[in-house]
């Protein structure tokens, strides 16, 4: 959920110093990162539903490159608690600022929209809301409950912020009964001060581990984006950390710079490198791994639901 979509032919920025000053030039993206513009009846139908219910989607607000493919397939990731984030992560295209409250009727509208879409797997995420005492946990929990009541057959994944380490906030979300509890570490520990304002690597790991400590035990999931300047060894170490903290599903994708003001891409990973990292992750014991240049945390999340039966007896 980290980057904007760009039509074929558009490129990323490359910076260099020349004659004592900074020059900016455009260099082509690799072929495997080019995507089609969104189109199709299903895409149009979902866009109308989102507008009618006055909803936000991470697909739009985070400028995801897969919006055309996912919406054409009839799936979307809903973003609750508004579209203004209290943190300013330097990889993310979501607006940063001071939010003005939240809509208490949003859980009902989300549930109705999910029912109207006819999907079998719904992903619900949010901006960071450090201005709220519980970080927005109540709204997450109420959205889960409303969706369960409206669409009992729908599997629910929530992609939550770190709630500043509050176990009470996490408990309220987990005990509402999501099928999957996701929280993204996003990048390696060394790059947190540069990339993730207000976040802590160890705190994110501890949240993922703590999600397994309540009466309801959801599948846990996390995601890494590559290309911010991390080393291969750091990626392998982060994967090992996630596995040690009882994470079941992991996704890995290529970071794409949303705007000129965001962190630049330091490296593009080839598809074969993602396959190698996927093999390593599976060797650690993850139950499901998705890895590829355009993979995002919620990309084809409905396909990952096929792994859920593996955990049914472990809750």
Q: What is the mean pLDDT of the chain?
A: 81
Q: How many CB atoms lie within 10 A of CB 156?
A: 21
Q: Residue 69: which pLDDT band, with cuts at 50, 70 and 90?
A: low
Backbone angles phi, psi at 124, to 5 degrees: -125, 125
Distances (CA, A) of 153 to 42, 58, 148, 173, 179: 21, 23, 8, 19, 12
pLDDT digit string, tens, across residues 161-171: 999 999 999 99
What's the pTM? 0.81
Give the rounded percent of residues in the chain with a pLDDT score beyond 70. Answer: 71
Which residue from 5, 23, 1, 2 is spatially nearest to 14, judged by alpha carbons? 23
pLDDT digit string, tens, across residues 195-222: 998 899 999 999 999 999 999 999 999 9
Q: What's residue 64's pLDDT?
A: 54
Q: What's residue 302's pLDDT?
A: 62
pLDDT digit string, tens, across residues 27-42: 466 776 665 555 555 5
Are 267 and 277 a contacting pair, CB within 8 Å?
Answer: no
Strongest mean pLDDT among 17-26, 46-55, 96-105: 96-105
Mapped onto helix, strand or coil, the DSSP state of residue 24 is: strand
Could you tell me how many residues make up the chain?
315
pLDDT digit string, tens, across residues 107-140: 999 999 888 877 778 899 999 999 999 999 999 9
Q: What's residue 121's pLDDT?
A: 82
């Amino acid at each position: 959920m980290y980057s904007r979509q760009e039509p074929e032919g558009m490129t990323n920025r490359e910076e260099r110093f020349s004659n004592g000053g900074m020059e900016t030039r455009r260099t082509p993206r690799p072929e495997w990162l080019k995507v089609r513009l969104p189109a199709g009846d299903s895409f149009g139908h979902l866009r109308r539903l989102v507008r009618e219910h006055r909803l936000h989607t991470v697909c739009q607000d985070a400028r995801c490159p897969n919006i055309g493919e996912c919406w054409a397939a009839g799936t979307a990731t809903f973003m609750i608690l508004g579209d203004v984030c209290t943190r300013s992560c330097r990889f993310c295209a979501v607006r940063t600022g001071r939010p003005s409250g939240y809509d208490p009727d949003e859980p009902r509208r989300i549930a109705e929209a999910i029912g109207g879409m006819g999907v079998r797997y719904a992903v619900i995420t949010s901006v960071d809301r450090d201005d709220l005492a519980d970080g927005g946990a109540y709204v997450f929990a109420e959205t889960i409950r409303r969706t369960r009541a409206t669409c009992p057959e729908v599997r629910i994944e929530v992609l939550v912020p770190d709630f500043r380490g509050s176990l009470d906030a996490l408990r309220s979300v987990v005990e509402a009964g999501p099928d999957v509890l996701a929280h993204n570490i996003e990048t390696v520990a060394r790059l947190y001060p540069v990339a993730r304002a207000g976040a802590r690597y160890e705190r994110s790991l501890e949240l993922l581990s703590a999600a397994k400590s309540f009466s309801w035990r959801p599948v846990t999931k996390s995601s890494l984006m590559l290309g911010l300047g991390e080393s291969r060894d750091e990626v392998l170490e982060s994967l090992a950390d996630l596995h040690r903290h009882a994470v079941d599903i992991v996704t890995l994708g290529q970071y794409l710079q949303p705007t000129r003001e965001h962190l630049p891409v330091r490296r593009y990973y080839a598809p074969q490198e993602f396959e190698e990292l996927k093999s390593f992750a599976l060797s650690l014991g993850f139950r499901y791994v998705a890895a590829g240049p355009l993979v995002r945390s919620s990309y084809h999340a409905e396909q990952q639901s096929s792994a859920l039966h593996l955990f049914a007896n472990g809750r």
